[in-house]
Amino acid sequence: MSKRNIKYLVIHCTATPSNTTIESIKKYWKEKRGWGDTVGYHYIIKADGEVIQLLDESKNSNGVYAHNSESINVAYIGGIDKAGKPKDTRTRSQENAMFDLIVALTEKYPNTKIMGHKDFPNVAKACPSFDVKTWLANYTPNLNDTI
């Protein structure tokens, strides 16, 4: 497979409760969306901050219609309130893991534009349920998070 020309690092939410399992998300893609074994994201971040790679970066995921060949897609589990409305439900652990992953990926793909899913034209979703640019501009790493 030829090397993909990565232009975008796209941030998503799963639009599920924060305790949703990765297995149930994959089942939804396969059974409800009809995607077979294709996944929506390259990386998914659990509520405890654990980052799980779902797909090799050399392959396309179904993250943003018409932009999958040029995107790396990252999602956090969550993004809705109890009523199913868009809400930034990220835990501090998810924020820290997301920031660290963004740093690592932008080092690997230095000319990448970081965007939320909703920042693309003709996207009628609130995903990722927060403004990525504002969050990045105001994020302060918690340097006291040591184990």
Q: pLDDT for 38-59, tens place per residue?
A: 889 999 999 999 999 999 999 9
Confidence of residue 147 (pLDDT cuts 50, 70, 90): very low
All structural domains of the chain, each given as residue ranges with its CATH number in brackets, are 8-138 (3.40.80.10)
Count the alpha carbons within 13 Å of 56 in the hemisphere toward its beta carbon. Answer: 5
CB neighbour class for 129 (10 Å; exposed up to 12, middle 13-18, buried from 19): buried
Average pLDDT, the chain: 92
What is the residue whose two structure tokens read 């990722």? 128
Confidence of residue 36 (pLDDT cuts 50, 70, 90): confident
Nearest to 86 by CA among 118, 113, 54: 118
pTM listed for this prediction: 0.92
Q: Average pLDDT for residues 64-81, to the nearest whole number?
A: 95
pLDDT in tens, 108-136: 999 999 999 999 999 989 999 999 999 99
